[in-house]
């Protein structure tokens, strides 16, 4: 398969086309500026989304606990920004026995894949940074790289707590990465394409939300999202940084801006998993009433994608407030003995559904 990478111009709104042409007219410097602008166009909204997501998490958990949550800094809205500024101005302490290079490198190795994965995520039918045919493979590669930073952080800190957390993270991510990969194989079979935009278009039909992949791929949908919660080390799978057991896991020796990078990467990954679940199983930017002819409601657009993402992002918080932490052996058993067999079995079912034409008709047309 050829790796076709379309550099934004056909996908961008018309407003960006004059800017693109003007910068490219400057030669090499203009091309570099255009690349930097594209990176900022993804990075800045993600950072802002993380900030407000943290505020929403604290408010929602507060309401679930029958309390107020943040309410002083800008009525609570800007509490996350106050926390970030506090972390950025704190002294960065390094343990005397820590590895000087790897200790500093680990937060970057966690953060960079978390942001790089956004390059192939489509926000609308015409708004995507890189329209890559092998986007699904790229996502799997990027989301798998983050664990190396966690392992390095645990080892380079020269702390037993940090190393124990890193070992747990390695085993947990490897276990659930397999289940997530198999779930995406089912999506690939149903859509007939590795391109994320084509996967969304494959779910378009005259029956609205009944044409989305959540219905024929329901077990894969549930496995993917729950595995995404485990991948991001969130409750109830947060044994990596279980506060009551091993303090803060791999981050226990980090402070200041380095800790902020770990924090940013974790929440960016949570938002990414929410986006991917919406794109793969809930039709992305497609309206739930697509093809029904209802004025306004039947119109597709990025607002539908954001609404779906908001639901899944809030589900992360709901899980944290509602469920107790799994034991480590229970997490391993769920991943290896429950999720992987379910996904393998449903891949076979999906292949049969496509073969007999139950699903996949829209996909073949979209992929063509």
Whole-angstrom CA distances from 355 to 181, 195, 211, 311 are 21, 21, 17, 33
Whole-angstrom CA distances from 188 to 90, 101, 277, 354 are 46, 40, 14, 11
3-state class (DSSP) for residue 131: strand
Q: How far apart are CA 331 and CA 124, in angstroms?
A: 36
Query: DSSP for 310-331?
Result: HHHHHHHHHHHHH-PPPPHHHH
Q: How far apart are CA 56 and CA 309, in angstroms?
A: 13
Eight-state DSSP code of residue 123: S
pLDDT of residue 260: 92
Domain locations along the chain: 90-367
pLDDT of residue 319: 94
**Side-chain-facing half-sphere of 225: CA atoms under 13 Å:** 24
pLDDT of residue 10: 42
pLDDT of residue 166: 87
pLDDT of residue 342: 96
Buried b (16+ CB within 10 A) or exposed e, 146-168: bbebbbbbbbbbebebbbbbbbb
Say if residues 129 and 118 touch (Cβ distance below 8 Å): yes
pLDDT of residue 359: 84
- Per the structure block, which two tokens stand in for 174? 């490897």
pTM of the model: 0.90
Q: How far apart are CA 154 and CA 169, in angstroms?
A: 10
Q: How far apart are CA 99 and CA 158, in angstroms?
A: 8
Eight-state DSSP code of residue 95: -
3-state class (DSSP) for residue 342: helix
Residue 145 main-chain phi, psi, to 5 deg? -75, -25
Q: How far apart are CA 171 and CA 109, in angstroms?
A: 18
User: Mean pLDDT by 10-residue block, N- to C-terminus, for the chain (368 residues)?
Assistant: 39 64 80 87 92 94 91 87 89 87 93 93 88 91 89 90 85 91 95 93 90 94 95 85 67 88 93 96 92 86 94 95 89 94 96 89 43
């Amino acid at each position: 398969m050829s790796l076709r990478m379309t550099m934004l111009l056909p996908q961008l709104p018309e407003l960006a086309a004059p800017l693109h042409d003007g910068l490219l007219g400057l030669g090499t410097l203009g091309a570099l500026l255009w690349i930097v602008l594209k990176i900022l166009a993804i990075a800045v909204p993600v950072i802002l989304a993380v900030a407000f997501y943290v505020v929403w998490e604290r408010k929602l958990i507060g309401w679930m606990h029958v309390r107020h949550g943040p309410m002083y800094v800008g009525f609570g809205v800007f509490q996350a920004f106050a926390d970030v500024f506090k972390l950025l101005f704190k002294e960065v302490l390094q343990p005397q026995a820590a590895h000087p290079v790897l200790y500093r490198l680990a937060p970057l190795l966690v953060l960079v894949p978390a942001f790089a994965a956004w390059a192939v995520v489509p926000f609308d039918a015409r708004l995507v940074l890189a329209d890559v045919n092998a986007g699904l493979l790229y996502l799997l590669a990027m989301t798998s790289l983050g664990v190396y930073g966690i392992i390095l952080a645990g080892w380079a800190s020269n702390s037993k707590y940090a190393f124990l957390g890193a070992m747990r993270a390695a085993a947990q991510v490897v276990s659930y990465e397999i289940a997530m990969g198999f779930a995406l194989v089912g999506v690939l079979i149903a859509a007939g394409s590795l391109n994320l935009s084509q996967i969304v278009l494959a779910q378009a039909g005259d029956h609205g939300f009944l044409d989305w992949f959540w219905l024929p791929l329901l077990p894969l949908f549930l496995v993917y999202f729950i595995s995404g919660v485990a991948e991001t080390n969130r409750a109830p799978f947060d044994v990596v940084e279980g506060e009551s057991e091993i303090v803060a896991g791999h981050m226990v020796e980090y402070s200041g801006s380095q800790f902020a990078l770990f924090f940013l990467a974790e929440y960016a990954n949570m938002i990414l998993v929410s986006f991917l679940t919406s794109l793969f199983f809930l039709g992305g930017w497609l309206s739930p009433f697509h093809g029904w002819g209802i004025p306004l409601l039947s119109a597709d657009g990025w607002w539908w994608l954001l609404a779906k993402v908001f639901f899944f992002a809030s589900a992360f918080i709901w899980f944290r407030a509602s469920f107790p932490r799994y034991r480590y052996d229970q997490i391993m058993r769920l991943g290896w003995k429950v999720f992987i067999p379910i996904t393998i079995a449903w891949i076979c079912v999906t292949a049969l559904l496509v073969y007999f034409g139950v699903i996949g008709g829209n996909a073949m047309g979209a992929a063509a």
